[in-house]
A and B are shown apart, each in its own frame.
Chain A
Amino acid sequence: MSSNTSAKTTGRPGRTMAILLVSIIALFAIAFIQGATAVKLGLDLRGGTSVTLQPRIAAGESGKVTSEAIDQAVSIIRQRVNSLGVAESEVSSQGSGVNRQIVISVPGDTGRRVVELVGQTAELRFRQVLVEGAANATSLTGDTATATLPAGVTPEVAAKFATLDCSLATSRQAGGGDDANAQIVACDRAGASKFVLSNAEVVGRDVSKATAAIDQQGAAGWYVSLSFNNDGTKKFGDITTRVVSLPTPQNQVAIVLDGLVVSAPRINEAIVSGDAQITGSFSQAEAQDLANVLKYGALPLAFDRGEVQQVSPTLGADQLRAGLLAGALGLFLVVVYSMLYYRGLGLVSVGSLGIAAALVYVLFLLLGKWIGFTLTLAGIAGAIVAIGITADSFIVYFERLRDEVREGRTLRSAVESGWLRARHTIIVADLVSLIAAVLLYFFAVGGVRGFAFTLGLTTLVDLVVVFFFTKPLVTIMASRKFFNSGSAISGFSQKSLGIAPKTSTAKVGE
Chain B
Amino acid sequence: MSSLAGIGGRLYRGEKSFDFIGKRRRWYAFSGILIIASLFALSVQGLKLGIEFKGGSSFRVTHSGVTVEAARAAVNSTGLVSEVIVQKIGSDKVQVQTGALSTLESNAIQDALAAKFGVKVESIDTQSVGPSWGKEITRKALYGLIAFIVVVMLYLALAFEPKMAIAAIVAVIHDVFITVGIYALVGFDVTPATVIGFLTILGYSLYDTVVVFDKVRENTRSVTSSGKMTYSQAANLAVNQTLVRSFNTSLVALLPVGSILFVGAGLLGAGTLKDLSLALFIGLATGTYSSIFIATPLLAALREREPAMQALRKRVAARGGATASSISQSTKTSNSDERSVTAVNDDRPRGPRNQPKRKRKHRR
List chain B residues, Cβ under 8 A from A311. 125
Given contacts A331-B256, A388-B253, A439-B144, contact A52 B133 (CB under 8 A): yes
Q: Is B211 an interface residue (CB 8 A)?
A: yes
Interface size class of B (residues with CB under 8 A): 35 or more
Q: Which residue of B lies closest to A503 (CB)?
A: B339
Of B22-30, B74-82, B264-272, the stretch lying at the interface with chain A is B264-272
Q: How far is the CA of A404 from the CA of B357 in the complex (A)?
A: 13
Q: Which residue of A lies closest to B242 (CB)?
A: A399
Q: How far is the CA of A435 from the CA of B156 in the complex (A)?
A: 11
What 1/0 flags go to B341-364 for Cβ under 8 Å of A?
Answer: 001000000001110110110010
List chain A residues, Cβ under 8 A from B151. 435, 439
List chain A residues, Cβ under 8 A from B140. 443-445
Q: Judge whether B126 and A406 touch: CB under 8 Å.
A: no
What 1/0 flags go to B108-141 for Cβ under 8 Å of A?
Answer: 0010000000001111111111101100110011
B window 55-95: CB within 8 A of A: 60, 62
Q: Give the dominant DSSP class at B's interface.
A: helix
Of B33-41, B197-205, B228-236, B292-300, the stretch lying at the interface with chain A is B197-205
Q: Is B312 an interface residue (CB 8 A)?
A: no
List chain B residues, Cβ under 8 A from A421. 218, 352-353, 356
Of B173-181, B244-252, B317-325, the stretch lying at the interface with chain A is B244-252
Q: Judge whether B356 and A413 touch: CB under 8 Å.
A: yes
List chain A residues, Cβ under 8 A from B192. 444-446, 448
Q: Is A357 an interface residue (CB 8 A)?
A: no
Q: How far is the CA of A341 from the CA of B247 in the complex (A)?
A: 12
Q: How far is the CA of A337 from the CA of B1 in the complex (A)?
A: 9
What 1/0 flags go to A25-63 for Cβ under 8 Å of B?
Answer: 000000000000000000010000000101000000000
Q: Judge whether B4 and A304 touch: CB under 8 Å.
A: no
Given contacts A378-B196, A389-B253, contact A312 B357 (CB under 8 A): no
Q: Is B43 an interface residue (CB 8 A)?
A: no
Given contacts A112-B121, A341-B5, contact A389 B260 (CB under 8 A): no
Of A122-130, A212-220, A322-330, A465-473, the stretch lying at the interface with chain B is A322-330
List chain B residues, Cβ under 8 A from A451. 193, 196, 200, 276
Q: Which residue of B lies closest to A336 (CB)?
A: B255
Q: How far is the CA of A112 from the CA of B7 in the complex (A)?
A: 62
Q: Is A143 an interface residue (CB 8 A)?
A: no
A window 375-416: CB within 8 A of B: 377-378, 381, 384-385, 387-389, 391-392, 395-396, 399, 402-404, 406-409, 413, 416
Q: Judge whether A310 and B126 touch: CB under 8 Å.
A: yes
Q: Is B157 an interface residue (CB 8 A)?
A: no
A window 411-427: CB within 8 A of B: 413, 416-418, 420-421, 424-425
Q: Judge whether A425 and B211 touch: CB under 8 Å.
A: yes
Q: How far is the CA of A428 from the CA of B206 in the complex (A)?
A: 10
List chain A residues, Cβ under 8 A from B253. 385, 388-389, 391-392
Q: Which residue of A lies closest to B58 (CB)?
A: A309
Q: Judge whether A119 and B103 touch: CB under 8 Å.
A: yes
Interface size class of A (residues with CB under 8 A): 35 or more
Residue of A3, A396, A436 touching B211 (CB-CB under 8 A): A396
Q: Judge whether B128 and A443 touch: CB under 8 Å.
A: no
Q: Judge whether A448 and B193 touch: CB under 8 Å.
A: yes
Q: Judge whether B252 and A334 touch: CB under 8 Å.
A: yes
Q: Judge whether A496 and B125 touch: CB under 8 Å.
A: no
Q: Is B188 an interface residue (CB 8 A)?
A: no
Residue of A309, A395, A448 touching B127 (CB-CB under 8 A): A309
Q: Is A21 an interface residue (CB 8 A)?
A: no
Q: Is B237 an interface residue (CB 8 A)?
A: no
Q: How far is the CA of A444 from the CA of B276 in the complex (A)?
A: 14
Q: Which residue of A lies closest to B215 (CB)?
A: A425
Q: Is A237 an interface residue (CB 8 A)?
A: no
Q: Is B42 an interface residue (CB 8 A)?
A: no
Give B contacts to A, CB under 8 Å: 1-2, 4-10, 12-13, 52, 60, 62, 103, 106-107, 110, 120-130, 132-133, 136-137, 140-141, 143-144, 147-148, 151-152, 155-156, 159, 192-193, 195-196, 199-200, 202-204, 206-207, 210-211, 214, 218, 241-242, 244-245, 248-249, 251-260, 262-264, 267-268, 271-273, 276-277, 280, 339, 343, 352-354, 356-357, 359-360, 363
What are 26 residue pairs bridging A and B, where the CB atoms are less than 8 Å apart in the complex? Answer: A44-B272, A309-B126, A310-B125, A311-B125, A315-B62, A319-B273, A322-B267, A325-B263, A326-B259, A326-B273, A330-B255, A337-B251, A385-B256, A388-B252, A392-B252, A402-B9, A407-B353, A417-B357, A435-B151, A435-B155, A440-B144, A444-B144, A448-B195, A451-B200, A496-B2, A497-B8
Across the A-B interface, give the 9 residue pairs with the lowest CB-CB distance, nearest first. A498-B9, A417-B356, A330-B256, A436-B203, A443-B144, A388-B253, A109-B122, A306-B133, A329-B259
